[in-house]
Structure formats: C-alpha cells, structure tokens
C-alpha cells in the first residue's frame, strides 16, 4: 500500500473516531420515548421529539437522497428522439 493510501486511511479513521467522541460527549442523550402502536398521543410525542432533536440528521438524509436521485438521472441516457422502433 502506498504512503498516500495509508495517509488517507489514517485520516478517515481519525475523523470517524473524532465524530464518535463528539457525539458521545457533547451531544446530550435522548430521552427515552415509550410508544405503543395504538396511541396517537405517544406517536405525536415521538414525532415532536424526532424533529426537535434529530432535524439536522433528517435534513441531511433527505438532501443525500435528492442528490443521489439527481446523480442517477445524470447517468441515464437522454433520449429526446423517442423510443427506437423496429421496422
């Protein structure tokens, strides 16, 4: 393995461990939400908690899904002439 790859691998591992430590020590743990399937009030409380505490994560996930869809659309061929016909 070349020196550049070892450096890249070390950087990735360092960033992952750093993110784990930041998440563990700087972010407060979520309150336990008990939810039953037939209780609309508990579902509403969970939904409120989810958007209040994890909104950034959900926004990033939605953006990544959108960017992935745009990437797929960019890779697909652009066929403006219509489908090929067998004659």
Assess contact for 43 and 35: CB atoms under 8 A: yes
pLDDT in tens, 22-77: 877 776 666 554 544 456 666 777 778 777 777 778 788 999 999 999 999 888 88
Q: Are residues 19 and 39 in the same domain?
A: no
Q: Indicate whether 37 and 64 sit together in one domain.
A: yes
Q: What is the pLDDT of residue 66?
A: 94
Looking at the structure, tell me whether residues 24 and 43 fall in a common domain: no
Rounded to two decimals, the pTM is 0.37
- 63 in the same domain as 40: yes
Say if residue 7's pLDDT is above 70. Answer: yes
Q: What is the pLDDT of residue 50?
A: 74
Do 1 and 36 lie in a common domain?
no
Mean pLDDT for 74-87 is 69
Q: Is residue 61 part of a domain?
A: yes
Residue 54's CB: how many other CB atoms inside 10 A?
12
Overall number of domains in the chain: 2
Where in the sequence is the domain holding 62, given as residue range(s)? 31-76
81: in domain = no
């Amino acid at each position: 393995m070349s020196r550049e790859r070892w450096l890249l691998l070390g950087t990735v591992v360092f960033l992952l461990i750093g993110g784990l430590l930041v998440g563990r020590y700087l972010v407060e743990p979520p309150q336990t939400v008990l939810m039953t399937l037939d209780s609309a009030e508990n579902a509403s409380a969970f939904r409120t908690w989810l958007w209040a505490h994890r909104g950034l994560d959900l926004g990033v996930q939605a953006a990544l899904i959108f960017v992935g869809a745009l990437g797929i659309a960019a890779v697909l061929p652009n066929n403006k002439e219509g489908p090929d016909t067998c004659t």
